[in-house]
Chain A
Amino acid sequence: MRGGEFDEVEFFRAIQDSGARALLIGRRALVVLGLPVLTADYDFWIGIDDIPVFNAACGAFELRPGVEPIDARRRGRYVLQNDEHVDVLVARSVPTIDGQAVEFEDVWNRRMPVALASGIDVQIPSIEDLILTKRFAARPRDLEDVRLLRILQSEQGRDDR
């Protein structure tokens, strides 16, 4: 499937309909929230038992996993790709750069559904949890994103008052 043919709405619908616990993280989650950042990839953090259903949903878009589920669980991450590139984090817990353990179950339970189209929600972490995920790799651009998220968070807090 060529990139130009990729139907993003149907992609998110397939993930929702699969029942996989899949959180959109990374810069596309920031874009959903209204932050103007550029990215090429899709990043998801999924439940460790949800690899087969998530892969099946992505398979409808000819996105193929590079490894078997057993290896994905062992590595904690894997990639699905064709012309699109989907990075998948698949760990029960991930440490931040400064050693704070972030549990998938906790982040999932605090998730925010965001309506993309009629009947289609994308699940993203709370802003506070998104900030934590940005501290996993802690590359310079991740920390730039943390600053943007904090500015957005403070602005939303101001609007709520």
Chain B
Amino acid sequence: MTDKTPLSAALRSATERSLTPDEARAYLESPVSDDERSDALALIHWFQQRYPTPLERLRYVRSAHARWRGP
């Protein structure tokens, strides 16, 4: 299913564009805050414990994407 509404096109354009070198540098050089690190690690630990093997992780992503895409 492909959503071709103007809003989705605008969102896709915003998220799929390549940033300029200066934009990328500014983003990458901004430090990771304690909250960002803590939130990311909580998600990573949940994922790794729920799906301990690489194969389980890949299967989860396939099923999650299928659910997200819908029938």
Chain B: interface secondary structure?
helix
Give the Cβ gap from B60 to chain A, nearest Cβ, in Å.
Answer: 8
Query: Which residues of chain A from 114 to 161 have any CB-CB distance to chain B below 8 Å in the complex?
Result: 114-117, 122, 135, 137-141, 143, 146-148, 150-152, 155
- Assuming the contacts A35-B47, A150-B32, asked whether A139 and B17 have C-beta atoms less than 8 A apart, the reply is yes
- A32 x B58 contact (CB < 8 A): yes
Q: How many residues of B contact A (CB 8 A)?
A: 36
* Residues of the A chain whose Cβ atoms lie less than 8 Å from the Cβ of B44: 34-36, 148, 151-152, 155
Smallest CB–CB gap between B48 and chain A, Å? 4
Say yes or no for A98: interface residue by CB 8 A criterion. yes
A97 within 8 A of B: yes
Q: Are A147's CB and B36's CB within 8 A? A: yes
The minimal Cβ–Cβ distance linking A124 to chain B, given in whole angstroms, is 9
Least Cβ–Cβ distance between B59 and chain A, in angstroms: 7
In this complex, the interface size class of chain A, counting residues with CB under 8 Å from chain B, is: 35 or more
Interface centre among B18, B24, B46, B66 (most CB of A within 10 A): B24
* CA distance in complex: A65, B61 (Å): 24
Residues of A within 8 A of B69 (CB): 40
B5 at the interface (CB under 8 A from A): no
Contact A139 B16 (CB under 8 A): yes
B residues near A40, Cβ cutoff 8 Å: 65, 69
> What residues of chain A lie closer than 8 Å to B66, measured between beta carbons?
3-4
- In the complex, A116 Cα to B18 Cα: how many Å? 32
Residues of A bordering B, CB below 8 Å: 3-4, 8-9, 28, 31-32, 34-40, 97-99, 114-117, 122, 135, 137-141, 143, 146-148, 150-152, 155
A sample of 16 cross-chain residue pairs with beta-carbon separation below 8 angstroms, ordered by A number, consists of A9-B55, A31-B58, A31-B60, A34-B48, A35-B47, A36-B46, A97-B24, A98-B21, A115-B54, A116-B55, A116-B58, A117-B55, A138-B24, A140-B19, A141-B15, A147-B28
